[in-house]
Amino acid sequence: MAKVVIDAGHGGTTDPGAVFEGRQEKDDNLRLALAVGQILENHGVDVVYTRTDDIYQRPIEKAQLANASGADFFVSLHRNSSPQANQYSGVETLVYDNSGEKAEMAEAINRELEGVGFQNLGVTERPGLIVLRRTQMPAVLVETGFINTESDNRLFDEKFNEIAQAIADGILAVAGNNPGVKLYRVQAGAFRNQEYAEDLLYQLLRADFPAYILREDNYYKVQVGAFRQLQNATRMEAALRRQGYSTFITT
């Protein structure tokens, strides 16, 4: 499975990012980065974070960290802003140039976020951004709605978990495409109704199981973990069954 750098844009007292009515972009970015990273880790992805708390890093430092990690992909998470409040709405993903795997990932992320309810503003080339120009791997910068647009903030807050899942799904659509690696997963349920799946997901998360939802074959599949070793999946399944869950192991 791939190694992915997740970058929470901005940070620290000197760089809060865009600010609207006391809401600071750096905080939204960090919260989302940690949530997306957790979902990716649950899928067996090796995740590297540029920051996990409120610190300032120069863009070149973020790029250097990513390059030193030997990562396969770089994903920077941001919120957009506009000159006037409620002027624009929607998601946009930036790339150095609109080609290759970075373009595929950008389009996949936008498509998934559109499914959550955002307007899809498309993929934009921004070759001047250091985190896109100086990274040595395919890199994208996601603008997850406008921080000074009330409807985007409401969507961000009310559907936060779905947004994190959507971004992770977009990343996995490209970064997870590695048929040479078999991963064992423990499935706890499959539903056509998304709400039923989310109910089980939250129940498992509250019990500290690394659960997530995989949308596949018109079902919302609630699964736990992604293990390279069958014995690790077997141990997880035993723990779930001790808690009363009906499970099976899948790949």
What amino acid is encoded at 146 in this protein? F
What amino acid is encoded at 65 in this protein? L
Q: Which of 92, 107, 143, 237 is catalytic?
A: 143
User: What does the alpha-carbon distance between residue 206 and residue 143 come to, in Å, rounded to a whole number?
Assistant: 29
- Is 174 exposed, middle or buried, given 0-12, 13-18 or 19+ CB atoms closer than 10 A? buried
The answer to whether residue 237 is catalytic is no
For strand 73-80 and strand 19-20, is the pairing parallel, antiparallel, or unpaired? unpaired
Closest by alpha carbon to 115, among 148, 83, 150, 91?
91
* In contact, 175 and 195? CB cutoff 8 Å: no
Closest by alpha carbon to 155, among 103, 199, 115, 187?
115
Catalytic residue positions?
A: 143
